A and B are shown apart, each in its own frame.
Chain A
């Protein structure tokens, strides 16, 4: 019976193409045909791969996530950041002490004795960021950012290098981290473009391979494929609406059947007004996708406990926000989003999906103020959610089939504005998964002195060494985008890398 849904979806899309201005090829026809070559590269049956984007909305101060730990380098870091933070003696300092940061297992390329934020430890005996790095499951990418072209400090200072549009602006930089396109404003993201290429490799799926836990987003919006949003509890259906899969038993509440018919009739109308049409298409597709998704998801259980689950024990040091009236414990919100993502991975076969992306946004990193105190809570939230995520993947045997990467609007200024830091440029990110060549820091971690060779302006802005294009290329290739199609997904990639089967940074295992 579920295939019936896909037919209606098909009808809807064919209809849309038939009357729309796009004209030539109807959406799914186009997809199935144009991507035959791509599909061939995905012929093996059990080769599931999932890519998770953990987005830190607001611009994480990631030089306090990954920082130099060895003597001289740490001293430089501390000096630039206004000294070691101390609530009483130096409340304006932004540096964390050598004693408090957690040392990472040294790697041969490591010149700085890297450490990570104090809240990156294990939890409940399960590995956190620090240990996952030590186990080779997690890699950092340092000083990564949006670039038009590679640019030196000299070029920046003499205004002879091209800069991304809207540098330092949340809206522009967020968009560019979703699209990799830094020269213009586009609403098409690289996971969306990848899905345009890869979706045909999925097996007759009714649900988009791009699943969002955080609503509409640019990253997952393609020309033809866009995100299917779910909540922490999965998908929902209209009140008193009878799905096709439900048996229309005699004696079933008459009102339900009548409402269902009326809703379907309302959504069948053709509209001249384009907002009417958009609204109606959206609701119809949402209902159909949710009908296909809901039963499988509701039956998908995992035993690993996430923050918010009954029986989950947070660390003793953690105090959830005091205001119960909003009930917004970020650990619970983020944890339950991760849990929903893993539960969705578990039902990949029922959904007919061999490739998936997940978008999880954790906002609130715009720390112009109280960066030390707030990050202490927020990094802990992230770390504990990742502990549970990794354990849940282990429960399902998916650790090598799911790769998580982080992104954020920008790094923040190395210098203090009093108790916080301001918008800057390059920053540090990490990648987690069994397919990751972990345990090392990729890119070239900058020297953090204000006169360092990648540090510009009096505020301490780092000019990125690694472009987002290179970073994303690693992930897109792993997901299955053929090297020849990489420029279709990351339009500016050739500026930094000649596409081949070997990724530009070597983060991902072959």
Chain B
């Protein structure tokens, strides 16, 4: 480890009273003390930080003078980090005594300065009561005075050098360095095994010594704009050689006209601030005019010797504004991020040609690409499994094959909606009995795929009748009561079908807000709900009735024997050899035949008459009860707003406005032709709503959702066209994807409980909770998974000594030898198609990262993210720095993998806005 340079100034303590007054019997006295830095950079040895001198352009100042006459010397202001020319910028705390017991202090905390609030009973013995580090905002605190008659408070400011590199934390923050790292930017050169590296102190020192002109270049960071979507284009103006601010002059030419075609963030000049090495100028396209040819904006740097810079190689950058009458590519990519597992070029083209609504209509017409057939054939592919069951790998293989499809018969909207539905109508292979045969799991998923574009009522029945749901929530083999032996119907399914699959816990208005009692509303037991309180949709009595209704369900189809898999109808109330993928049927023998009354508050009750058991037992009586009850549930006014909100949360935003929910639930109530429960209408309403589609709402601080770990991973896989590296048979195998749940806390149909991976009402600690926002996906984002998820992305792009040409989507230690594909199937990898990226990855990092932005962040990457990633990539070995094509490719792959990992880790990719 390098030894940090010695401090360049000695410790100075200053003591200066600034505020003092008498309040009641207490003597109030407060003051500001300064300790100078242990380490500041001071090349001119005047005791003032050079960074401070640069920040305020002080030139040569006398440390003992008070240039702005605010009562603080320049030295004191330099220690406090305040402006020596602004009398309002002073290093003083406002100290008050609002009560005999308390003193409050408030001051502006400069970034990186260390503050200590000290108290004393007598002005001689001082005790530190509170310490804090400034972050460029107000710091407020209070101390208990204990009611003492005399109580003194003072504030001490000083510098820290957390990383011991010779620059104070304030200097590092001011200059854009990392105060806790000696090497803020990694290494200072591009060799992969450097022998020399430059510390932050050395870099600043060397830059401060430079007096030559800045060298200025320009590049596009976001070259595409559309009149259909006001997301701005951007250029980056960079400088090398200096730290001090510089203002650059540029001209705007091209066929586009400023003011009518676009609005620039600044016209004519741009300033690179102190410490920074680049600045961004953005261009916002102005609203649509009739379709026309592309227009260009050409930004050209102008020399300006008097401003202290010269121009480098790249002096102009060109941006394009398209206006072809079709949806903007960025807007389409964003749409597909909501509506599918991730945008790919083919799908973007389909949406652009059909329009949003037309594309959705086309998706509705497509046949479902089911999972079960793949589970069945895949067992044959791998050589036949002697047992008639399927395992988790089989099912996930089917999931991945269908989720990855981009061909003309693909159904990306349906696949995505089914995944959303699988988190509403939850079953989970974490229950052993379900895990025992994944054919039941796969067929349940297919039930959701088939029902995704149908009617809610039909889907509810299909889910209710599915034997794997029956197993999961113990509706299968649910027998009528036998009070003689204290046996009563199972309440599990009865409860959850209401709470989770249909009406929820509280009565809702059509816009999803809770109905609040006016003092006459009744609760489920008929008691008055006090005014101002929400109203439960159901209570224990409704659960008991519903549990009786769901008695008598049993497998509908069985295998003939444990070894003869010929399917035959089930004719007695027995679960033996049940077929996991055929619907359950009713048996009147075990169905409660008595009259039942299901009464929800606020709507007319359902009266089921006493019934007579069918002979032979066709279950006709039970079926009649079941169908009537599902009708009744599906018609409850809560269903529309309840289900609409859950689907919006999966696809578009965690915190939809009531108006948005209201618009969608209106479509649930009536699809436009008088039909209720039409999921096509609901899906279309969700995805075409102004809150989902318009640019303005997307910029609201509360808009969006944290993308699920699993959907993020599929999106990455799609973006890089990941495919099995060694196809043993058609389609190959997505080896390794099944083990993702440990890192992700998520996997299709594998939630910890029927309450899904997360609650729709989860409010995470931090900013979201301060503003009372939901963020369900944050519930599985803890201090382990928040790191393990991006690590998995990193693993997907792992670079190891043995895999010069492979991008592995599975991190297990597997060989990657194509010469032995059949020896051990565990060696099969899933690889990204890096070849399609190599040209961009080998060239200008700006172009590579801009493409990643388009592909993974729908062009929404922030300038700061773009800057952080391009800086990193530029520091990696330059592919164009060699003439050896093999080395060039390898360097390009390294750049691609690092860039993709960083994008995958960024909030720009993780949060869908």
Q: Report A's interface with B, CB cutoff 8 A.
A: 4-5, 7-8, 10-11, 14-26, 28-30, 32-33, 36, 57-58, 79-83, 92-93, 159, 166-172, 185, 187, 212, 215-216, 221, 226-231, 235-240, 244, 247-251, 253-255, 257-266, 268-269, 271-283, 285-287, 289-290, 321-323, 325-326, 328, 363-364, 366, 368-369, 413-420, 422-423, 450, 457-460
- 9 closest Cβ pairs, A-B complex: A18-B137, A257-B186, A15-B135, A265-B868, A262-B872, A239-B794, A229-B782, A286-B783, A258-B186
Q: In the complex where A228-B783, A260-B186 touch, is A82 in contact with B194 (Cβ < 8 A)?
A: no
Contact B543 A255 (CB under 8 A): no
CB-based nearest A residue for B438: A325
29 A-B Cβ contacts within 8 A?
Answer: A10-B133, A15-B137, A17-B137, A18-B138, A22-B770, A24-B140, A25-B140, A26-B132, A26-B141, A93-B485, A168-B543, A171-B759, A216-B779, A250-B195, A253-B193, A262-B869, A263-B902, A264-B178, A265-B872, A268-B178, A273-B704, A276-B911, A277-B766, A290-B787, A323-B436, A328-B430, A416-B487, A417-B547, A420-B490
Q: Roughly how many angstroms separate A248 CA and B867 CA in the complex, as a whole number? A: 24
B180 lies within 8 A of A247 (CB): no
Contacts A215-B745, A266-B868, A274-B767 given: A257-B187 contact, CB under 8 Å?
Answer: yes
**B130 closest partner in A (C-beta):** A29
Contact in complex: B391, A325 (CB < 8 Å): yes
Across the interface, do B705 and A275 meet the contact criterion of CB distance under 8 Å?
A: yes
Partner of A281, one of B194, B486, B767, B865: B767
Does the CB pair A326–B767 fall under 8 Å? no
A258 & B436 in contact (Cβ 8 Å cutoff): no
What are the residues of chain B within 8 A of A278 when measuring CB–CB? 706, 764, 766-768, 775, 778
Q: Name the distance in Å between B137's Cβ and chain A's nearest Cβ.
A: 3
Taking a contact as CB atoms under 8 Å apart, the answer to whether A422 and B702 are in contact is no
Residue of A nearest to B778 (CB): A278
The residue among A57, A227, A369 with the most chain B CB atoms within 10 A of its own CB is A369
Cα(A321)–Cα(B547), bound, Å: 30
Nearest opposing residue in chain B for A273, CB measure:
B701
Q: What's the minimum C-beta distance from B754 to chain A, rounded to whole angstroms?
A: 8
Having A7-B133, A328-B430, one finds 10 other A-B pairs with CB under 8 Å, namely A18-B135, A93-B485, A171-B755, A215-B785, A264-B181, A278-B775, A363-B753, A368-B491, A416-B488, A422-B490
Residue from the list B139, B144, B160, B785 in contact with A29, Cβ < 8 A: B139
Confirm or deny: B853 has a beta carbon within 8 angstroms of a beta carbon on chain A. no
Contacts A11-B135, A215-B782, A251-B193 hold; do A21 and B770 have CB atoms under 8 A apart? yes
A269–B864 alpha-carbon span in the complex (Å) = 7
A33, A172, A325: the one within 8 Å of B141 (CB): A33
Expressed in whole angstroms, the Cα–Cα distance for A326 and B902 within the complex equals 31
Are the C-beta atoms of A216 and B782 separated by less than 8 Å?
yes
Q: Is the CB of A416 within 8 A of B144?
A: no
Contact of B488 among A17, A57, A277, A413 (CB under 8 A): A413
CB contacts (< 8 Å) of B898 on chain A: these are 255, 258-259, 262
**Contact residues of B: prevailing secondary structure:** loop
In the docked arrangement, what's the CA distance between A423 and B137, Å?
Answer: 51
B184 proximity list for chain A (CB < 8 A): 261
CA distance A30 to B142 in the complex (A): 8
Stretch in B253-261, B374-382, B457-465, B473-481 touching the partner: B473-481
B432 at the interface (CB under 8 A from A): yes
Query: How many angstroms from the CA of A33 to the CA of B505 in the assembled complex?
Result: 41
Residues of chain B in range 445-474 having any CB-CB distance to chain A below 8 Å = 473-474
Cα distance, A285 to B864, chains bound together (Å) = 20
Q: Is B527 an interface residue (CB 8 A)?
A: yes
Instruction: Establish whether residues B783 and A7, one from each chain, have CB atoms under 8 Å apart when the complex forms.
Output: no
A-B interface contact total, Cβ < 8 Å = 360
| Contact A417 to B485, CB < 8 A, known contacts A277-B767, A282-B764 | no
Q: Assuming A11-B133, A275-B775, A281-B766, is B902 touching A266 (CB within 8 A)?
A: yes
When distances are taken between beta carbons in the complex, the residues of chain A under 8 Å from B163 are 4, 244
Q: Which of B160, B192, B767 has the most C-beta atoms of chain A within 10 angstroms of its own C-beta?
A: B767
Asked whether B902 lies within 8 Å of A236 as measured between CB atoms, the reply is no
Q: What residues on A are CB-neighbors of B473 within 8 Å?
A: 368
Say if the beta carbon of B703 comes within 8 Å of chain A: yes
Q: Which residue from B160, B770, B784 sits with its C-beta under 8 Å from A215?
A: B784
In the complex, which of the residues B393, B543, B865 contacts A269, with contact meaning CB atoms closer than 8 Å?
B865
Residues from chain B with a CB closer than 8 A to the CB of A239 are 790-791, 794-795, 901
Question: B798-809, CB under 8 A of A: which get 1 and which 0?
Answer: 010000000000
What is the bound-complex CA distance between A21 and B699, given in angstroms?
Answer: 20
A-contact 0/1 string along B751-782, CB 8 Å cutoff: 01101000101111111111101010011111
Q: Are A238 and B794 in contact (CB under 8 A)?
A: yes
In chain B, what residue has the closest Cβ to A293?
Answer: B783
- The residue that B780 contacts in the complex, of A14, A215, A230, A415, with Cβ under 8 A, is A215
Contact-size category for B: 35 or more
Known: A29-B130, A259-B902. A458 touches B485 (CB 8 A): no
Q: Which of A21, A248, A251, A459 contacts B195 (CB 8 A)?
A: A251
**Mask of B705-719 contacts with A, CB within 8 angstroms, 1/0:** 110000000000000
Measured between C-beta atoms, what is the minimum distance from B877 to chain A in Å? 8
By beta carbon, the residue of chain A nearest B135 is: A15
Point out the residues of chain B lying under 8 angstroms from A364, CB to CB: 430-431
Point out the residues of chain A lying under 8 angstroms from B195, CB to CB: 250-251
Task: Output the least CB separation between B324 and chain A (Å).
Answer: 30
- CB A278 to nearest CB in B, in angstroms, measures 4
CA–CA, A427 and B28, complex, Å: 58
**Cβ contacts under 8 Å, B366 to chain A:** none
Chain A, Cβ-Cβ closest to B705: A275
Look across to chain A and name the residue whose beta carbon is closest to the beta carbon of B536: A166
A276→B132 CA distance, assembly (Å) = 25
Q: Mark B857-890, 1 if CB is under 8 A from A, else 0.
A: 0000010110111011001100000000000000
Kindly state the separation between the CA atoms of A459 and B487 in the bound complex, as whole angstroms: 8
Q: Is the CB of B1 within 8 A of A285?
A: no
Cα A286 to Cα B901 with chains together (Å): 18
| Pairwise interchain contact B486-A82, C-beta atoms closer than 8 A | yes
Are A10 and B132 also in contact (CB < 8 A) when A262-B902, A326-B392 are? yes
A15 and B784 alpha carbons, distance in the complex (Å): 24
Contact A283 B136, beta carbon cutoff 8 Å = no
B491 touches A417 (CB 8 A): yes
Q: Which among B137, B163, B479, B543 has the greatest number of chain A C-beta atoms within 10 A?
A: B137
Q: Does B781 lie within 8 Å of A187, measured CB to CB?
A: no
**Which B residues from 186 to 200 make CB contacts under 8 A with A?**
186-187, 190-197
Q: How far is the CA of A321 from the CA of B434 in the complex (A)?
A: 13
By the criterion CB–CB under 8 Å, are A14 and B910 in contact? no
- How many angstroms between the C-alpha atoms of A283 and B490 in the bound complex? 43
Q: Which residues of A contact B182 (CB under 8 A)?
A: 248
Is the CB–CB distance between A459 and B488 below 8 Å? yes
Q: Are B478 and A280 interface neighbours, CB within 8 A?
A: no
Known contacts: A171-B755, A238-B787, A279-B706. The answer to whether A418 contacts B487 by CB under 8 A is yes
Question: Do the beta carbons of A289 and B783 come within 8 Å of each other?
Answer: yes
CA distance A187 to B864 in the complex (A): 34
A82 to B872, CA, bound (A): 69
Given A14-B133, A21-B770, A250-B197; A238-B391 close (CB under 8 Å): no
- Check B576 for interface membership: any CB of A closer than 8 A: no
Q: Is B9 an interface residue (CB 8 A)?
A: no
A262 to B849, CA, bound (A): 13
> A268 CA to B136 CA in the complex, in Å?
13
A231–B784 Cα distance when bound, in Å, is 7
In the complex, are the beta carbons of A287 and B787 less than 8 A apart? Answer: yes
State the Cβ distance, B550 to closest chain A Cβ, in Å. Answer: 11
Q: Chain B's nearest CB lies how many Å from the CB of A315?
A: 19
CB distance from B167 to the nearest CB of A (A): 14
Residues from chain A with a CB closer than 8 A to the CB of B109 are 14, 18
Residue of B nearest to A328 (CB): B430
Cα A275 to Cα B181 with chains together (Å)? 28
**A residues near B186, Cβ cutoff 8 Å:** 254, 257-261
Determine if A92 and B485 form an interchain contact, defined as CB atoms under 8 angstroms apart. yes
Out of A226, A264, A420, name the residue touching B765 (CB < 8 Å).
A226
